[in-house]
Chain A
Amino acid sequence: MTAASYSDAPAHSGGGIAAWVFTTDHKRVGILYLIGSMAAFIVAGLMAIGIRLEQYAPGESGFMQYFVGDIGKQMTTGDAYNTALYFHGAAMILGFLIPGLTGFAANYLVPTMIGAKDVAFPRINALSVWLFWCGIILALLTFVIPDKPDVMWTGYPPYAIKTPGNTALYVFTVHLIGFSSILGAVNFITTIVYMRAPGMGWNQLNMFVWSILTGLTIQLIFVPILAAAVTLLLLDKYVGTGFFDSSRGGDPLLYENLFWFYSHPAVYVIFIPAMGLVYDIVATMAKKNIFNYKAAVYGGMCGLVVISGEVWIHHLYVAGMPNWLRIGMTMTTLLISLPVGLMVLSLWGTLYKGAITYNVAMLYAGLCFVLLLFGGLTGIPLALVSMTVHFARTSFVHAHFHFIMALFAAYAVFASVYFWFPAMTGRTADNAVSRLAFWFNLVGTQLTFWPLFIIGVDGMPRRYWDYSAEIVGAERSANWTFYHHLSTYGAVITAVGIFLMITGWVYSAFWGAKVGRNPWGSKSLEWTHASYPIGPGNFDEPVVVSAEWTPYNYAK
């Protein structure tokens, strides 16, 4: 192939609206994913602030309704709060974390890391991003319709069927985003299997490429089950079937089983790619090869794919499942410690004898070590059914999954934006303001969630907007108020950090300091071989890698 044929590849350098709308270039699709998922993140983040302010003190704060667009205060505080919880959970997971990792990061990085000029099916790729945008727009309609959905991100029947809220909006949002992500999974799996640069063996892939391959394999297997579950919900509510109606031979627990049969593996669709990003950032900034690469890939990531579908009952530990099944899945859940343990050792070992420099991406990666450690450790008691009969549905669980999944993955995505910012724009977003934002985010999120761990052990229920004395008892109400104060301060500090971070990105994209090629000294193809900033066709000439090449070969 000649250089000319490479720049013939989907050329999308125009700045007009049409050039963006009709783009099939994976990098532009990636940016569109980033914009869509950050929109979901910002609105869902505002809901989180509303939730924290409502919980600041026992009793009614009086402004919850404003957060969900109910200016006339037609809704009760309980209903407004439930809508905020629904949107926060559904949008953060389906609209931000999964698309941020498997949409934005995968699109931008996978083809460039494997030396391909685009994904295998660029037009299907464009279709998936617009399906995703339709899903986000549908989700945002929550704030303008009168019958706002209030079914949490889980949508459990019979509540989701009996509620006057608009469960259909929830179901169709899941359909659109789910369809988008199935297409994405097919696309990226095909791309990674067939479009690696000549000579690039399986043990030479970036950790992030492996994480997308394994994460999207899980997504491809399990998303159809979620789609089936919510479709049955739709039929039960609007067509009058009785799949989940016990008075007509159905069973509400069928839904919980189907839902978590997808949604526990979905945790790994978030966790593994986030881990992949952290690996790549840490290895580059420590100028080190990955410690025990094969153990982390084949034992860790592939191990999680294998075990992901055998542990879902731990989400139903208090939901009336048979006793033997609950204790059985306690054992499978504990076994998660083996693949995750291998990944943790490999990540920790990657620091060993490194030569670490701290850019802002590496600071976020360091924070991810903390989140991984504490989020992982607090998962151990939650694996034990007999401990979880107390912890289930308390803020202990809430804090646990925010650490290990929500914050860990969110900060991995943010770190990746900072890290690959020069490749995207030729400029850097790493400056004094972004470092200030980092410290706000670090202090803010720790302050938000440690109090929730503490009062969670004491039994603070999740999804409560009120914890007055008559509800939880006088002593607990008084004790918890202090911790909720701290947690709310933490949320406000985080909000400042996030605001500085996002405005910093927008500013830096247009006016940030220009930096030269490969500012972090990486050995990975998207820095060493791709055009800079990465342009149409990605590479000026076809990439061929040698048998000795790896993206982590620093010591040579």
Chain B
Amino acid sequence: MRKLRNRLVLGSLALLPGSLPALAAESKILSPTHMWNEIWTEVLYDLLLIGVPFGLAALYMMIRYRAKSPGQVGEAVNLSPAAVWGWILIPCALFLADDLLLFGKGWTLWNVQRVVPQNAVEVKVTGHQWYFDFDYGNGVTDSELVVEVGKPVVLRMASDDVIHSFGLTEYRLKEDLIPGRITYLWFLPDAPKETQVDCMEFCGTGHSQMATKVRALPTADFQAWLGKHKSASAGDLKFASQSDGTASK
């Protein structure tokens, strides 16, 4: 009980005006979602840059080099040894340069996606056939993921039965829930909105129905939600501790 009380006190400290500078620091947190969208745009340009010349070249040659008469044969293109190596090394160097460019961008984003900010709020997620449940600590649980806008959230995830996957589609993130292993995922709810989380790994009959809401609430609403759930779970706790007490006596 003392432990729980301490946690509640510490938790409420975070709400004091004194913690405002900390919030300001948080606003500088890079959002993996925004970065994903930016890099996707760049990747699309990259694909166009490669795709358009190759597409046009194929189309051009398919039309340009049609046989003019039956029996016509193509002109042999025999490469000198230098040309053979040129046609290997130059394209490979170009492809490799593009690979490294993309790899660099991808790695930068990966480091943001996988390095959890220190002040992230932790929520435990458990997958079941066919629903998710969320444990916010302090006995607060829910079947929806409710988070506070502007606060990074880290999900510590596992599964109760088979492999599921936590598809935070609109945040451009996902990670599997695996029995016997704790995986993690963090995201930054940047605006008040209601989105979906879908199970993204095949898990049986109800796979297509395994979905719930992610509600990102402004601080005031989030506190109201938390207060409601706390009092509800505090009632549960009292009952639990009473029965616990009698049992131990």
Tell me whether A and B are bound partners. Answer: yes
Q: A292-B84, A389-B113, A555-B74 are in contact. Are A353 and B163 (CB under 8 A)?
A: no
Q: A158-B161, A246-B181 are in contact. Are A295 and B74 (CB under 8 A)?
A: no
Question: Does B29 sit at the interface, judged by CB under 8 A?
Answer: no
Give the distance to chain B from A518, nearest Cβ to Cβ, in Å.
13
Question: Does B201 sit at the interface, judged by CB under 8 A?
Answer: yes
99-113 of chain B: CB within 8 A of chain A:
99, 102-103, 105-107, 109-110, 113
Question: Does A472 sit at the interface, judged by CB under 8 A?
Answer: yes
B207: chain A residues at CB < 8 Å are 78, 82, 463-464
B206: chain A residues at CB < 8 Å are 78
In the bound assembly, the distance between CA atoms of A327 and B67 in angstroms comes to 48
A320 touches B58 (CB 8 A): no
Question: Does A387 sit at the interface, judged by CB under 8 A?
Answer: yes
Cβ-neighbour of B58 out of A246, A294, A353, A369 (below 8 A): A369
Give the distance to chain A from B4, nearest Cβ to Cβ, in Å.
30
**Interface mask (B81-110 → A, CB under 8 Å = 1, otherwise 0):** 000100110011001101100110111011
A380 touches B178 (CB 8 A): no
Size of B's binding interface in residues, CB under 8 A: 78
B231: chain A residues at CB < 8 Å are none
A235: chain B residues at CB < 8 Å are none
Size of A's binding interface in residues, CB under 8 A: 90
263-320 of chain A: CB within 8 A of chain B:
286-289, 291-292, 294-295, 299, 318-320
B200 touches A288 (CB 8 A): no
B65 touches A355 (CB 8 A): yes
Q: A288-B74, A554-B76 are in contact. Are A338 and B95 (CB under 8 A)?
A: yes
A355: chain B residues at CB < 8 Å are 65-68, 72-74
A555 touches B99 (CB 8 A): no
In the bound assembly, the distance between CA atoms of A287 and B61 in angstroms comes to 14
**Interface mask (A215-256 → B, CB under 8 Å = 1, otherwise 0):** 000000000000000000000000000000011000111000
B17-25, B44-52, B137-145: which lies at the A interface?
A: B44-52
Q: A287-B72, A287-B74, A373-B54 are in contact. Are A463 and B209 (CB under 8 A)?
A: no
**Interface mask (A64-84 → B, CB under 8 Å = 1, otherwise 0):** 000000000000101101100
Q: A292-B88, A386-B109, A554-B74 are in contact. Are A348 and B61 (CB under 8 A)?
A: yes
Question: Does B226 sit at the interface, judged by CB under 8 A?
Answer: no
Question: Does A213 sit at the interface, judged by CB under 8 A?
Answer: no
A121-129, A173-181, A329-337: which lies at the B interface?
A: A329-337
B167-175, B216-224, B241-249: which lies at the A interface?
A: B167-175
B106 touches A384 (CB 8 A): yes
B200 touches A356 (CB 8 A): no
For B113, B195, B205, the residue with the greatest tally of chain A CB atoms inside 10 Å of its CB is: B205
In the bound assembly, the distance between CA atoms of A288 and B36 in angstroms comes to 45
A380 touches B102 (CB 8 A): yes
B163 touches A348 (CB 8 A): no
B208 touches A162 (CB 8 A): no
B99: chain A residues at CB < 8 Å are 331, 334-335, 337
In the bound assembly, the distance between CA atoms of A356 and B75 in angstroms comes to 11
Cβ-neighbour of A82 out of B163, B173, B200, B204 (below 8 A): B204
In the bound assembly, the distance between CA atoms of A163 and B175 in angstroms comes to 23
Cβ-neighbour of B77 out of A349, A472, A556 (below 8 A): A349
Q: A150-B204, A461-B167 are in contact. Are A299 and B88 (CB under 8 A)?
A: yes
Give the distance to chain A from B129, nearest Cβ to Cβ, in Å.
9
Question: Does B196 sit at the interface, judged by CB under 8 A?
Answer: yes
Give the distance to chain A from B69, nearest Cβ to Cβ, in Å.
9
In the bound assembly, the distance between CA atoms of A344 and B50 in angstroms comes to 12
A330: chain B residues at CB < 8 Å are 103, 106-107, 110
Question: Does B39 sit at the interface, judged by CB under 8 A?
Answer: yes
Question: Does A345 sit at the interface, judged by CB under 8 A?
Answer: yes
In the bound assembly, the distance between CA atoms of A457 and B170 in angstroms comes to 10
Question: Does A393 sit at the interface, judged by CB under 8 A?
Answer: yes
**Interface mask (A368-407 → B, CB under 8 Å = 1, otherwise 0):** 0100011001101101111101101110000000000000
B106: chain A residues at CB < 8 Å are 327, 330, 384-387
B76 touches A159 (CB 8 A): no
In the bound assembly, the distance between CA atoms of A72 and B196 in angstroms comes to 35
Which residue of the partner chain B has the closest CB to A471? B211
B203: chain A residues at CB < 8 Å are 159
B110 touches A386 (CB 8 A): yes
A390 touches B110 (CB 8 A): no
Question: Does A465 sit at the interface, judged by CB under 8 A?
Answer: yes
Interchain residue pairs with CB less than 8 A apart (30) = A76-B205, A78-B206, A78-B207, A150-B204, A158-B161, A158-B179, A159-B163, A247-B180, A252-B163, A252-B179, A253-B181, A289-B77, A295-B87, A323-B114, A341-B91, A348-B54, A353-B65, A353-B77, A354-B75, A357-B66, A373-B51, A380-B47, A381-B43, A384-B43, A386-B36, A389-B175, A392-B165, A394-B200, A463-B207, A472-B211
Known: A79-B205, A471-B208; 17 extra A-B contacts, CB below 8 A, are: A156-B163, A253-B178, A287-B73, A288-B73, A289-B74, A295-B87, A318-B176, A319-B163, A331-B99, A353-B77, A373-B54, A378-B47, A380-B46, A390-B169, A461-B199, A463-B202, A554-B76
Pairs A-B, 5 closest by C-beta atoms: A246-B180, A555-B76, A459-B169, A288-B74, A384-B106
